[in-house]
Amino acid sequence: MCGIVGFNGSHQAGPILLDGLSKLEYRGYDSAGLAVRDGECEVEIVRAKGQLKTLSEKTNGGTSITGNCGIGHTRWATHGEPSETNAHPHFSDDRNVVAVHNGIIENYQELKDKLVRKGYNFHSETDTEVAVKLIDYYYKKYEHTPVDAINHSMVRIRGSYALAVMFRDYPDEIYVARKGQPCGDSAAAHRVLCERCEGA
């Protein structure tokens, strides 16, 4: 299975995200990753194959990536082998959209073909990267809000999934969406930590 966490508040996000992911470790996973952003600064992304311990070591317990807003993920590979390249978060080439995803996008090949025709490049084997680039495509096409871009994408995506998304133009904001029950246990799988429920 898999897990998603998010944090936005007055503390450093990295250690809190790692702590959140450790609470979901029992679900099983093959890789993990974090994206953390410090206000208007460029988002920092760190991913690791294997145990959370490796991700924690790579980020010095989450402290080497600074910022108060971020998302984290433990992956159970469905599309593409367990690897650092396939680990989440995934991002558009200009890092306009950064996201983590649980579940499966059934029509990812058809959507990927369309996005390749539109000029998008893909670096992983995942269905997740397709969702990220579809959201980026609609965000830029309609010059609308994150919610519009996610809504347009959800109309096109078939499957059961949960997403946590960050947008370059919207620092200190995390957008989440869910359709169906991507991991069978939606309450645990899609736990989004925020300052109000921290430690709950």
When binding is defined by CB under 6 A, the residue of 69, 128, 131, 138 that contacts ligand GLU is: 128
Q: Per rule CB under 6 A, is residue 75 in the interface with ligand GLU?
A: yes
Q: How far is the CB of 167 from ligand GLU (least distance, A)?
A: 20
Pick one of 78, 83, 85, 107: the residue that binds ligand GLU (CB under 6 A): 78
Instruction: Examine residue 193 and tell whether it contacts ligand GLU (CB under 6 A).
Output: no
Burial 27-52 (b: 16+ CB within 10 A, else e): bebbbbbbbbbbeeeebbbbbbbeeb
Q: Which residue among 15, 54, 58, 79 contacts ligand GLU (CB under 6 A)?
A: 79
Give the integer Cα–Cα distance in Å for 69 and 54: 21
Which DSSP letter does residue 185 get? -
d(CA 78, CA 171): 30
* Token pair recorded at residue 184: 């069978």
How many angstroms from the chain centroid is the CA of residue 94?
Answer: 16
Considering the rule CB under 6 A, would residue 122 count as an interface residue with ligand GLU?
no
Q: Which is nearer to ligand GLU, 68 or 124 (CB)?
A: 124
Q: How far from 80 is each of 25, 104, 115, 127, 128, CA to CA, in Å?
A: 21, 12, 19, 9, 10
CB of 4 to ligand GLU, least distance (A): 9
Residue facing ligand GLU at closest CB distance? 2
Q: Given the rule CB under 6 A, which residues bind ligand GLU?
A: 2, 75-80, 86, 101-104, 126-128
